[in-house]
Structure formats: C-alpha cells, structure tokens
Structure 1
Amino acid sequence: MAKREKTWSLKEIDETRGSAKGSAFMAFKQLRDGFDEGRDFFYLNGDQDGPEIEALRRDGRVYANSVNAVLLTESGYRAVMEYLDD
C-alpha cells in the first residue's frame, strides 16, 4: 500500500508550492472523479488506518488536525500539480 511507494500528502503539496492550506485538497476534490483509488491515491481512514495517520502526523506530512488522509501517487501528484499550475 502507501508505505511501499513514494507518495505525497496534500499538506506537502501546499507547503512545496507555498499555497494556502487546503489548496491541494480543493484540487484533489475537483479531480477525484477521474482518479482511481490505489493507482492515483490512497485514502487512509482514521478508524482503520489510525497508526499510519499518526505516523504521518509525527513526521509532519499531514496537518495536525487530520482525521483521515489522502496520499497521492506519482500519477495523482502530477495531475494535482498540473491543475494547480493552470
């Protein structure tokens, strides 16, 4: 799963771009219908994936108040970045 490949969190994209908090999330929401879970992104549910989300929180990869998390794969990352660049 997400642990086995390079992923980007929405927070990491916001910070890399110097964008306001939530910018990458809004882009993800706009693109979501065209994405395939497991190929373009991983959705981590707070109830089922709590330890992994906590580890991401400790590493500073997700926002401190994140209950659930989205991790983008290379294809999802590129799509979000292109959307934000338009």
Structure 2
Amino acid sequence: MVKDAVTPFHHDGHPVLTLRQLDRLNNVPKGTAFRAFKRARANLVEGRDFFVLDPERDAGRIAELKAAGLAYDSSHRVVLLTAAAYEVMRGAR
C-alpha cells in the first residue's frame, strides 16, 4: 500500500493521508490532526478535500489501513485528507 507511515496513498484518484499519518508527520499526540480537521471542517468539501470511509461500506479498506498502521485501531470511520485539506487545516490553528 505505502512505503512508510507518512507516504500518501491514492483514494478515488487523489493522493491522501489519514489523520494518524498527519499526527506522525507533525510529531504530535493522537487526536491533534482530528481536532484541526474539526476546526477546518466548514471550509472543506467532502469528496474533494477529504473522504470518510464508512465502517459498513468500507470495512475491508479500514481493516487494511489499520493493519498497515495507517489508521488508529480505535477509529470506526477513517478520514482521508488531500493536500488541499491539510493546507486549510494548517491555517485553522
């Protein structure tokens, strides 16, 4: 899937990172990227800036991301973020 824990992978034709990958990339505690995502959410468009994997619809993909260490084991839904979303999140500090 990916070479390491902070390498983007493709979803729906877009290079993306998970919230866990962003926490690792920025060397911050678990949940930091999620809180930034929540602050920036009103300025992001689902399907363009981010994608949400649903546990019923995307169970296999979520399991794959968890097994690869790219999503937190406690996550039910997994948020995938594009570079554009990451830039908006960085500005929403």
Q: 1:41-80 counterparts in 2 under 5 A? A: 41-80=50-89
Query: Which runs of 5 or more structure 1 residues have no equivalent in the other structure?
Result: none
Name the count of aligned residue pairs: 84
Query: Which runs of 5 or more structure 2 residues have no equivalent in the other structure?
Result: 1-9
| 1:23 has 2:32 as partner | yes
Question: What SS is found at the alignment partner of 1:8?
Answer: strand
Question: What SS is found at the alignment partner of 2:15?
Answer: coil
- Aligned with residue 14 of structure 2, among 5, 10, 20: 5
Q: Which has the higher contact order (CA 8 A, sep 6+)?
A: 1
Percent identical: 33
Alpha carbons of 1:78 and 1:16: their partners in 2 closer, same or farther (altered >3 Å)?
same
| Greater fraction helix | 1
TM-score (norm 1): 0.87
TM-score (norm 2): 0.81
| Greater fraction strand | 2
Deviation at 1:4, TM superposition (A): 2.9
Q: Name the residue aligned to 1:83.
A: 92
